[in-house]
Amino acid sequence: MNYELIIVLGLTAVALALFVSERLRVEVVALLVLSVLLLTRVLEPSEGFSGFSNEATVAIGAMFVLSEGLRKTGVLRRVASLLGRLFEYQQELALFAMMTGAAVVSAFINNVAVVAIMLPMVLSVSRKTGVSPSRLLIPLSFAAMFGGSTTLIGTSSNLLVSGLIAERGLDPIGMFEVTPVGLLFFLVGTVYLMTVGRWLLPDRGSGELRETRELADFRAQVEVVEGAKCVGRRASEFFLDSRGKVVAVQRGGNLVTEDLEEIVIEVGDVLRIAAPVHLLQELDAVTGQRLLPLEPADDDREGVAEGEEAGKALLEIVLAPDSTVVGRTLREAGFEQHHPAHVIAMRRRGEVVVQDLLDIRLQGGDGLLFQVPPEHDGALQRRRDFIVISEFGVPEYKTRMTIPVILILAGIVVGAAIEWMPIVTLAVVGCVLLVLMRVLTMEEAYRAIDWQVIFLLGGFIPLGLALEQTGAIDLVAHGLVQGLGGAGPVVLLAGFYFATNFMSDVVSNQATAVLMTPVAVVTAMSMGVDPRPFIMAIAFASSDSFASPVGYHTNVMIYGVGNYRFLDFVKVGLPLNLLFLGTAVVAIPVIWSL
């Protein structure tokens, strides 16, 4: 075994371990992998940077921009509004319509954008109908994943797998080549979620995410000043409402977290509290006490006149999984340098926060409560870093551009379907047209791209190349053929689907596709069978992973907002994973003969 093979295999193992542990951001891991490959001269620079010039990487970046262009027209918001009204009349029909609508739209634009737009609608439905959002958000996320599997452009995994096999001289995946099996998956998944899956969905209570935010899982700080009515009370008696509580008292340089029933509140105390949003709003309106932002303003808030914070709105957002602040602390993020808002509270599902909130590293799905002047709340709504779930005002949309944008998307789909031009060419031309037509500015186009995915591919596509060049893939493929080849290609197909699906539940689906696709191709060729069925198994298995809240971006987005627990995804998603596995093993060999 040569040293290059040892380096590549060791590097792959370390990268996967870092992904699972989440010690580093995924794009940092990818760039670390790329750096090691270049420094050890396993790859030449032209090979090392091939991931950034790969057609799949460029096409995926362009699809993010096209999705943002459609979002800017407001057409998806109007669809979500119609579905919201339907929920008020027939909930089962509305649930089916929501899932179908999310799937159809996700077939042609990024499914993360679809879920981000429909999320506030679902929460609004929950408030109006009393149905717990935990009964609605998993079906929304899963349906968006179903839809992404029905076309080439529906998910980045399909585009990536198509690009990888094209580099190996195989025909790329056609625009609608995956549609028959994708539609079958949609049918199986929808029937499951409307029947057995619906019974397995948790019900955390209909009021958990209403506008009053009954859950006391927001953490904030309250400064007690002269004239406060709470002075002289015990800390344990600060809230008359049992849904709020004081978790610590900071007095001078000391932080007290125990025996709070014995602590008497004094002027100058800073109380760390846990309370639902409506209690925070009430506290902010009481004379003599005010909510402190989690980060100091430039003036350290000295000289702030009483009542200066009056008139500010409380705006609740969820951090997008690809937010630029993920992995940074609130102190490092410096929200106040970029937005006229203070972060006054934070919520994270399953984690009790009592230490200094400024030093907690942000994660995708975290909830933040902003105190923001009403005239500036639109600035936060326009940031793709944030998914606004408590809406103030209506964002501005370019409705007059709806038809032109839809025609551009339709042209890309039709052009790719008839193989007039490669999908990457059509997608880039479409992006240029959106900018020339002023649907998007260049700055908005830059912000629309999920750079985490781009850098992930930039680092992992070269890793796949290194695995191939050093003989690691041949080694793995030979072992698979020796171990499972005797059982037949169908068993091996099932093994690839299961392994890819499992990895996608704990590791990025793009990274999984990069690592598994060349192994599947070489293994199939070693057995003397057509690699196409194995390629399709990798594409579907990496796109449809349901048993974890961290394996796919749409699941990350709904995890905290829906008040889910990790095991909720296992309970609902694992049976669906197995159903899809059985469906794939039966359907894929029928469409693509082994």
Tell me whether strands 342-347 and 289-292 are parallel, antiparallel or unpaired: unpaired
Kind and range of the H or E run holding 501: helix 489-506
pTM score of the predicted model: 0.75
Closest to 241 in 3D by CA, of 200, 268, 266, 212: 212
> What per-residue confidence (pLDDT) applies to 318?
78
> What per-residue confidence (pLDDT) applies to 190?
96
Closest to 562 in 3D by CA, of 381, 345, 350: 350
Closest to 47 in 3D by CA, of 455, 458, 451, 425: 458
306 versus 593: which is more confidently predicted? 593
> What per-residue confidence (pLDDT) applies to 379?
55
The full DSSP string for 528-539 is TS-SHHHHHHHH
Q: Does the pLDDT value for residue 206 go beyond 50?
A: no
Task: Please report, for residues 234, 366, 374, the alpha-carbon distance to residue 276 in angstroms, rounded to integers and kept in the order given.
Answer: 20, 15, 21
CA distance 268 to 224: 5
- pLDDT tens string 52-71: 988 889 998 998 899 889 88
120 versus 31: which is more confidently predicted? 31
What 527-533 contacts at long range (C-beta under 8 Å, 24+ apart), as own/partner pairs, is: 527/481, 527/485, 527/489, 527/492, 529/489, 529/594, 530/592, 530/593, 530/594, 531/165, 531/170, 532/170, 532/592, 533/489, 533/493, 533/588, 533/589, 533/592, 533/593, 533/594
The whole-number average pLDDT for the span 199-210 is: 63
> What per-residue confidence (pLDDT) applies to 304?
37
> What per-residue confidence (pLDDT) applies to 381?
55
**SS3 call for 521:** helix
Contact predicate 400/418, CB 8 Å: no
> What per-residue confidence (pLDDT) applies to 201?
93
Give 482: exposed, middle or buried? Use CB within 10 Å, 0-12, 13-18, 19+. exposed
107 versus 304: which is more confidently predicted? 107
Q: Whole-number mean pLDDT of the chain? A: 80
CATH 3.90.230.10 fits 308-389, yes or no: no
Instruction: Among 228-232, 335-339, 534-538, name the most confident range.
Output: 534-538
Q: Does the pLDDT value for residue 336 go beyond 80?
A: no
Q: Does the pLDDT value for residue 309 go beyond 70?
A: no
CA distance 582 to 437: 47
Q: In percent, how much of the chain has pLDDT > 70? A: 81
CA distance 594 to 490: 8
CA distance 81 to 75: 10
Domain boundaries, the chain: 3-25+460-591, 57-207+401-448, 212-292, 308-389
Closest to 533 in 3D by CA, of 546, 520, 545: 520
The whole-number average pLDDT for the span 96-104 is: 92
CA angle 281, 286, 290 (to 5 degrees): 75
> In which band, very low, low, confident or very high, does the pLDDT at 539 lie, cut at 50, 70 and 90?
very high
- pLDDT tens string 223-268: 888 878 888 888 888 877 666 788 888 887 788 877 777 888 888 8
Rg of the Cα atoms in the chain: 26
Its CATH class, for the domain covering 212-292, is alpha beta
Paired with 254 in beta bridges are 251
> In which band, very low, low, confident or very high, does the pLDDT at 384 lie, cut at 50, 70 and 90?
low
Q: Does the pLDDT value for residue 75 go beyond 50?
A: yes
Instruction: Among 142-146, 441-445, 565-569, name the most confident range.
Output: 142-146
- pLDDT tens string 393-435: 445 678 888 899 999 999 999 999 988 999 999 999 999 999 9
> In which band, very low, low, confident or very high, does the pLDDT at 283 lie, cut at 50, 70 and 90?
low
Paired with 291 in beta bridges are 222
Lowest-confidence segment of 310-314, 354-358, 426-430, 500-504 by average pLDDT: 310-314
